Amino acid sequence: MKDKVVIITGGSSGIGKALAFHFGERGSKLVITGRREEALNAAAAELRKKGIEVMTIAGDVSKEEDNRLLAERTLEHFGKIDILINNAGISMRALFEEVDLEVIRKVMDINFYGSLYATKYCLPSIIEHRGSVVGVSSIAGYRGLPGRVGYSASKFAMQGFLESLRTEMIPKNVHVLTACPGFTTSNIREASLTKDGSAQGASPRDEDKMMSAETCARHIYNAVVKRKKHLVLTTQGKVTVLMNKLFPGFMDKLVYREMAKEENSPFK
């Protein structure tokens, strides 16, 4: 990955920030983007202390024009784009019968359309350099999670897009990776939207028992190096994907019971 130009959306915290360090420490040149300029600048300062070359571009992935500018400014500065990591994402937690539809629309705009827009504008240079498109999806893209209907829908959509793109890119030798972490320590649950669109504020799950963002980043980095097509992380995640294929009815009940255990669960 030395001297590869890597764009990471949602690169100021969580898995995105961990990916920035992992790629940067191995010689990649980075572009990190996100909506919060202050957080971007703080992350960039940490990266530069490690001698990592990084450029920040503040922008909202849900806006097509911001993604066009992201690709344009990266090409102006570095002259190429080798790898795009579609990492920016947001979650939600509410029953479908109670949720404001605008919440689901916002989740789709960020998680699905954000990946679509960024890939569209970065793809010409990635094709030229036979690079990689990475989508950081979720186990929720394989198994729909009750109480997170908008999040699961966005990840199913992302995975369908990436699978189609991967097939289209066969003759162009472009690598497309769908990476699906299980529950991972990050700020996604704190920022998760409730039924009225307000931020949840506190994680309903025990973060200490989850895979770290750094471990997740290491696995994704290795999958990019090896040009893998799929990456499913954590034992729980792998078992969930397999069991859902074999015993979908049983998994409906099991997943419901598991999600109902969360603190302040909407099922109670």
Q: Which of 120, 188, 179, 196 is nearest to 151 (CA)?
A: 188
- Residue pair 5/28 in contact (Cβ under 8 Å)? The answer is yes
For residue 152, count CB atoms less than 10 angstroms from its CB and return exposed for 0-12, middle for 13-18, buried for 19 or more.
buried
Confidence of residue 266 (pLDDT cuts 50, 70, 90): confident
Tens digit of each residue's pLDDT (9 = 90 or more) over 116-166: 999 999 999 999 999 999 999 999 999 999 999 999 999 999 999 999 999
Q: Quote the tokens at residue 200.
A: 């949840």
Residue 113 a catalytic site member: no
**pTM score, two decimals?**
0.92
58, two tokens: 């503040």
Model pLDDT, residue 260: 86
Residue-wise pLDDT tens digits, 86-103: 999 999 999 999 999 999
Active-site annotation holder among 121, 142, 151, 221:
151
Taking the C-alpha atoms of residue 247 and residue 76, their distance in angstroms, rounded to an integer, is 51
Helix (H) or strand (E) holding 32: strand 29-34
The CATH number that domain 5-260 falls under is 3.40.50.720
Q: What is the residue extent of each domain of the chain?
A: 5-260
